[in-house]
Structure 1
C-alpha cells in the first residue's frame, strides 16, 4: 500500500518533496440526475491533500462482494494546495447490466500527479479503499441500445462522419457521460483486422477501412473545461489513461481529440468536466471519422452501444471526385 508520493521519481522537483496523499475521507451517493427514480451514477467522493499544486488524476474500480469487477471510473482536476475532494462517478448503465448487487467495494485505487501527455508520478495506491452503502443493480438505469444500418453498393472512396448531438444535465456544477463498449470504427459487422508497424487496416465484404483517419472528437458547450478518460478492454488486459484538461474558449466551448483508439479491443470512454456557472445542462457533440474504400455491395451495422440518446447523423463525402452509388440506405 502506497499512501503518498515524492519527487524522487520526477526530475523537476527536489528529492523528498511530498506531492499529495489520500486523506482517508470517503462518501458514496447514488445520483438520479434526471429525477426518474433510477440512478445514472454511483458517486464516491475521495478526499485528497495537495502539497504541490498541479494536475492530478484518480482512477478506481468498483467490485461486488465476491470480488468481481463491475466498472472503472476516473477523475482529473487542477488543484491548489490544501484539502480537496475528487469524485469517482461509476456508470449506472454498466452496474445495471452486470446484475451484481452491493454493497460495492472501491478497489485498485490509484492517485497520480500529471497527465497522459506530460507524464505521471504515482502518489497513492489502495487495493481495498472503501465499501459503499447497500445498492441493488436494479436501482440503476437500464441501458438502451439501438443499432443503425448503412447499406448499399458502389465503387470509390468515402469519408464517413458519424455524429451524435445530445445534452447532459449538470449536477453540483459538473457534467459527465460514459460510453462503455466503444469500438473503432463503431461497427457490429464482423471485420478482419490486419495489423502492421504503422497501424491497422480492416476488411469486410464490399469495404476496406484504412488505418487512417481514425479521429474521435468530443466538443462540449456551456462548460469551463473537458476531460477524457479511456480504459482499453482487450481480453484480460486493461490499460487506462486520462487526457490533459482542455479549457473552454471565450464562448464556453471545449474540445478534445484523439486518434489513439485502435480497432483491437473495445473501450470505456469517460467524458467529464466543470460546467459554466449557473447552467443546468451542457451540450455534447461526439464524432467519429473513418475512410471507406467501397468495391461493390456492402452492409454495415453501426453499433451505438453506450452512446447517449440524441440526434444521430451520418455525413458521407466522396474523395478524389470519383464515387458512384448504385444505391444507399441508412436506417435510423
Structure 2
C-alpha cells in the first residue's frame, strides 16, 4: 500500500523513519505513535515517541547521526498504558503521560541509560500533556476529561520532580493547591471549589511566556499568559503543538495539515498529508538544529483504531529561511503541485 503523499513547500523533502509493527534499527516500532520530542545527542539527536495503546503503551526512541542516518532504536518506557502526550524538560528528560483513570506521569531518560520513574506528586488523573516553564520553575499539566482542569506542578527543587505542590487554575485566574494529588477518594478536578474546567485537555507547550494548550472536546487552542494570568482562546481545530528553535509555533490541524501560527495568531498551513483521512497527526518536534521536523500519522492509511498502521515522518528543509515571515512558507494548498515523494525507512 502506498504511504500516501505530502504536499510541501519548495525545497523540502520527506521520508518515513518508522512504521508500526516494522523494524527500525532492530526495534519493532510501536503502534499508535503519539506525543514526541527531540533531544540533542552529541553531533546528532534523538526523537522520542509515545504509544497510545492499552497495557503495552510506553515510549520508544530513535537515535540519529549528524547526517540524519538512524544509528539505533530502543524502548525507554514499558509496562504503562495509553501514553498519549508528554513533554520535554530543560534537563533533557521526557515526561510521558498516561491517559487513564488515575494515570501517572513517568520521567524517562531519552538516552536509554536510566530506568523511567513515576512522578506521583504530579497527580493521579487522566493526563494529557506536560509543558515546562523554566521562568517560573513550574510544569503545566492538562487533563483529558469532559470537565478536566489545567494544573501546574511546583517542584520543591527545580530539576527534581519527586516532591512538590500540585495546583489547579481557577476561574478567578489564580492557582490553588490540590489537597490530595493521589486522588484516593476524590478526583483532583473536584477537590478545589472554583477550579476552571475544560472539555478534554490535550497537548500543551510553553514558549515565550505563554502556555499554549488544546482542548479536544471543543477543538480549541488556548493561550495562558503566565505573566499577566490572562487566558485566551486562540482558534479551533488544533491537535498537537511544538515550536521551532527560531520561535515559531507549529500546530497540527484536523485537516491533516501542519500549520505555523503567525504573530497575529493566524495559522498559515505548512504541509498536508494526503491518503491518511482516517488518522490524525501527532508528536510534532524539531531536531535541535531546526532543520528537521518529525511527526506521526497515528493510524496511518488504514485508520486502524489499534494504531497498527502508524507512520512516523521526517521533513527536512530550510525552516530557518521561513522564520518570522508569515506566508513565506506558502501553504499546503499552494504547495499541492509540489507533492514530495516519501522515501521508505
TM-score class, shorter-chain normalisation, is under 0.3
Scaled by the length of structure 1, the TM-score of the pair is 0.26
Scaled by the length of structure 2, the TM-score of the pair is 0.25
Which structure: greater strand fraction? 1
Q: Which has the larger radius of gyration?
A: 1
